[in-house]
């Protein structure tokens, strides 16, 4: 029996950095090519659906200017519906960012915690957690838009 | 009883002068677990993972209660025959064990060791019986995939891509009945049959280890050093060579942590070879989409109760070491950028004719 | 042609986000925040608008398009509302999508329970 250090010195088995290096070596690599392929396919398909929705709306009298909001509403509705019937959480493990990045993924990020935290109550559960994932996107999106907006306001006349 | 009944020999190694018996055990497994390689060997199978309850927390509690009731009925004991129950789970404030104990009625010692709770509670039950404090004690634990996901990771309806290092929290529960040998002789448990008697001869309490792994999606890598530390100290404390064991069952290092443990042991010139198995790898088949393997407090308990202990009882093995490992982080410590402290507790079980 | 462009460009944006996530090991939440901020910056620089005209839904459906809408809403209102539009414009442009998500979320929570 080799004498293993009984002393409570930190990391007696192996140097910490060395261990972390070894841990990275045994880690199975992420299937980057496969993930990229499915992200492309799923994401592309969702955007294609968006384009079709937009085309249908344009044919019913909406203009290029007014079509954006109803398109967004319908796509959000589809994302919410697929989440509610339990299909969106099966799509994302395959599609990854292809399912998360489109606006349907944004809807999924709002609806999922809304359903999930129902058991914790309508106010402190659903209400309080509804922006758990979408909140950061809105907060930093709006903040970035604020900063850009200030700059463009200051530069009005120079650049508009 | 004198305190020498349980001797603390060196750092954290417990030798039991009167080894208590592991008299009975019961496993309750969820659907995915039942579809795995050990599917036929669980005592009870749960097809509806909500257990007919409104919340997954309540479902987990029901799994827990069901395992405790089952171990009592398998052993022919009543709750009033049991002096103490050592139990815990993964949820905040160990609500599964604490709430279930309202109805079980056995005095409760709540335990938290994350996924190491299975061997930690077994170790404590053995210690209490070996010291003469209790005649009989139950060790029990449970975990539920859904309740763990929503506490540690993301809402269930939110699709999130799993990573190759991710582990799958097992749905299930297990309970182990530890008895004083003298009590057991006077009142033999029916489930015991004619097979060998299982004794808990010694145990090693874990030391918290932290090798700076920060990724909660790679708990196997974080926990391997804790398992290595405990195994090495157990070998040193018990005086056994690694060859004396038919099985060293770790839980739940998975496919990433297991080779790291082999590597750390090899550095100390310990080569357990095929004796060293991991519950996280054994519970599910590779095609069950669990990535690096199983985890959760129930994982090692289920594999121990469905595979390891029955083999001891059938006389196919003589000595095993259960080394359940736990990641001691919380979602908050991870978000604050802290690394993951881990622990492993070892319990040595031997079969005697 | 517009349909093919929407598919190819939308797919490409998602592919880029996926590859960034796999290489940097950032969480999906970080990538989504990065995506919307990237859209805001490209919108502010005036790059996203011609891109959206070119790719249609392929540019507006992914989250960077959401960011672009925020900044476009502000820029559109500056001549009329002045500095107030910096505060009001972004929500005006994206309000329909956000409000729809909230309404459907509350509705879904009313009818649906989390399942195994």
**pLDDT at position C110 over 50:** yes
Q: Would you give the DSSP letter of residue A118? A: G
Whether the Cβ atoms of residue B115 and residue B304 lie closer than 8 Å to each other? no
A137-146, B79-88, B154-163, B308-317: least confident range: B154-163
pLDDT of residue A157: 78
Q: What is the pLDDT confidence band of residue B192, given thresholds at 50, 70 and 90?
A: low
Of A157 and C55, the one with more pLDDT: C55
**In 3D, which of B89, B66, B101, B87 has the Cα closest to residue B144?**
B89
Query: Cα-atom radius of gyration of chain A, to the nearest Å?
Result: 24
Number of domains in chain C: 1
Average pLDDT score over residue span B92-108: 96
**In 3D, which of C29, B49, B126 has the Cα closest to residue A131?**
C29
C59, part of any domain: yes
Which tokens is A115 given? 């359903």
Express each pLDDT in A27-63 by its tens digit: 999 999 999 999 999 999 999 999 999 999 999 999 9
All structural domains of chain B, each given as residue ranges with its CATH number in brackets, are: 3-181 (3.40.47.40), 203-352 (3.40.47.40)
CA B286 → CA B31, B35, B253, B281, B289, distances in Å? 16, 12, 15, 8, 7
Q: What are the residue boundaries of the structural domains of chain A, listed by start? A: 16-129, 135-160
Domain range for residue C70?
Answer: 2-111
Whether the Cβ atoms of residue B156 and residue B150 lie closer than 8 Å to each other? yes
Q: What is the ipTM of this complex?
A: 0.95
Q: How far is B282 from chain C (nearest CA, A)?
A: 23
Q: What is the pLDDT confidence band of residue B186, given thresholds at 50, 70 and 90?
A: low
Average pLDDT score over residue span B325-341: 95
pLDDT of residue B152: 87
C68, part of any domain: yes
Of B59 and B11, the one with more pLDDT: B59
C40, part of any domain: yes
- CB contact burial A40-73 (16+ within 10 A = b; e otherwise): bbbbbbbbbbbbebbbebeeeebeeeebbbbbbb
Which tokens is A130 given? 């509804």
- Touching A (3+ Cβ pairs <8 A), the chains are B, C
Whether the Cβ atoms of residue B147 and residue B91 lie closer than 8 Å to each other? yes
Express each pLDDT in B287-315 by its tens digit: 999 999 999 999 999 999 999 999 999 99
Express each pLDDT in B40-94 by its tens digit: 999 999 999 999 999 999 999 999 999 999 999 999 999 999 999 999 999 999 9
Average pLDDT score over residue span A64-83: 96
C15, part of any domain: yes
The pTM of this model reads 0.94
C113 touches B at CB < 8 Å = yes
The average confidence (pLDDT) of chain A is 92
What ranges in chain B are assigned the alpha helix state H?
31-34, 56-75, 95-104, 117-130, 145-152, 181-186, 219-238, 254-267, 279-282, 297-303, 309-313, 331-335
A contact residues 30-59, partner C, Cβ 8 Å cutoff: 30, 32, 35-36, 39-48, 50-55
C116, part of any domain: no
A74-78, B57-61, B187-191, C40-44: least confident range: B187-191
pLDDT of residue B160: 85
- Residue with the two structure tokens 């959760």: B296
- Count how many Cα atoms sit within 13 Å of the Cα of residue C11 in the half-sphere of its side chain: 17
Contacts of residue C113 in chain B, CB cutoff 8 Å?
54
How many Å apart are CA B142 and CA A79, to the nearest integer? 35
A160 touches C at CB < 8 Å = yes
Residues in Cβ contact with A134 at an 8 Å cutoff, skipping those fewer than 6 apart: A106, A109, A110, C101
Which of A2, A26, A34, A87 best tests the B interface by mutation, with the highest count of B CBs <10 A?
Answer: A26
How many Å apart are CA A112 and CA A82, to the nearest integer? 10
Compare all CA atoms of chain A with the CA of B57 and give the residue at the minimum distance: A119
Across the interface, whether the CB atoms of B56 and C113 are under 8 A apart is answered: no
Average pLDDT score over residue span A75-99: 96
Please state, for a pLDDT cut of 90, what percent of chain B lies above it.
88
Whether the Cβ atoms of residue A32 and residue A96 lie closer than 8 Å to each other? no
Contacts of residue C73 in chain A, CB cutoff 8 Å?
145
The average confidence (pLDDT) of chain B is 93
C78, part of any domain: yes
């Amino acid at each position: 029996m080799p004498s293993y250090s009984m002393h409570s010195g930190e990391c007696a088995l192996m140097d910490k950095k060395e261990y972390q290096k070894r841990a990275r070596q045994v880690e199975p690599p992420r299937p980057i090519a496969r993930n990229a392929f499915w992200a492309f396919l799923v994401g592309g398909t969702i955007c294609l659906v968006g384009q079709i929705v937009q085309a249908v709306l344009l044919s019913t009298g909406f203009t290029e200017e007014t079509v954006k909001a109803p398109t967004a509403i319908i796509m959000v509705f589809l994302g919410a519906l697929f989440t509610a019937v339990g299909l969106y959480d099966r799509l994302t493990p395959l599609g990854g960012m292809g399912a998360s990045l489109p606006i349907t993924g944004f809807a999924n990020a709002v609806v999922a915690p809304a359903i999930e935290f129902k058991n914790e109550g309508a106010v402190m559960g659903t209400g309080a957690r509804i922006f758990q994932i979408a909140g950061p996107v809105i907060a930093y999106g709006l903040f970035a838009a604020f900063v850009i907006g200030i700059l463009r306001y200051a530069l009005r006349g120079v650049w508009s | 009883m004198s305190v020498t009944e349980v001797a603390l020999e060196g750092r954290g190694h417990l030798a039991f002068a009167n080894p208590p018996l592991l008299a009975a055990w019961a496993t309750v497994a969820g659907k995915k677990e039942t579809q795995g390689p050990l599917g036929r060997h669980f005592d009870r199978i749960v097809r509806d993972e909500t257990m007919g309850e409104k919340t997954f927390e309540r479902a987990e509690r029901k799994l827990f209660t069901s395992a405790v009731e089952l171990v009592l009925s398998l052993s022919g004991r009543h709750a009033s025959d049991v002096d103490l129950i050592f139990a815990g789970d993964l949820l905040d404030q160990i609500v599964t064990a604490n709430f279930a104990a309202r109805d079980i009625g056995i005095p409760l010692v709540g335990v938290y060791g994350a996924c190491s709770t299975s061997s930690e509670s077994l170790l404590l039950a053995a210690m209490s019986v070996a010291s003469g404090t209790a005649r009989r004690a139950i060790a029990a634990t449970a975990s539920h995939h859904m309740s763990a996901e929503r506490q540690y990771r993301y809402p269930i309806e939110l699709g999130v891509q799993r990573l190759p290092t991710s582990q799958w929290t097992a749905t299930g529960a297990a309970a182990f009945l530890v008895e004083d040998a003298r009590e057991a002789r006077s009142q033999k448990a029916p489930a015991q049959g004619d097979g060998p008697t299982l004794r808990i001869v010694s145990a090693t309490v874990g030391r918290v280890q932290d090798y700076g792994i920060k990724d909660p999606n790679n708990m196997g890598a974080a926990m391997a050093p804790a398992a290595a530390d405990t195994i090495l100290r157990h070998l040193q404390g018990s005086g056994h060579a690694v060859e004396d064991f038919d099985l060293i069952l770790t839980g739940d290092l998975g496919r990433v942590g297991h080779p790291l443990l082999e590597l750390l042991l090899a550095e100390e010139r310990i080569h357990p070879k095929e004796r060293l198995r991991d519950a996280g790898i054994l519970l599910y088949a590779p095609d069950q989409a669990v990535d690096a393997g199983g985890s959760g407090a129930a994982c090692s308990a289920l594999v121990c109760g469905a595979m390891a202990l029955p083999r001891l009882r059938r006389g196919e093995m003589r000595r095993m070491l259960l080394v359940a490992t736990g990641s001691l982080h919380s979602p908050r410590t991870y978000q604050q950028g802290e690394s993951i402290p881990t622990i492993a507790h070892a319990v040595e079980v031997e079969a005697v004719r | 042609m517009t349909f093919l462009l929407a598919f190819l460009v939308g797919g490409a944006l998602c592919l880029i986000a996926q590859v960034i996530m796999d290489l940097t090991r950032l969480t999906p939440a970080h990538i989504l925040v990065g995506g919307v901020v990237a859209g805001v910056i490209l919108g502010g620089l005036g790059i996203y608008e011609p891109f959206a005209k070119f790719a249609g839904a392929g540019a507006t459906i992914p989250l960077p398009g959401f960011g672009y809408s925020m900044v476009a809403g502000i820029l559109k209102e500056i001549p009329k509302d002045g500095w107030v539009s910096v505060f009001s414009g972004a929500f005006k442009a994206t309000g329909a999508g956000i409000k729809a998500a909230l309404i459907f979320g509350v509705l879904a929570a009313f009818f649906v329970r989390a399942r195994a």
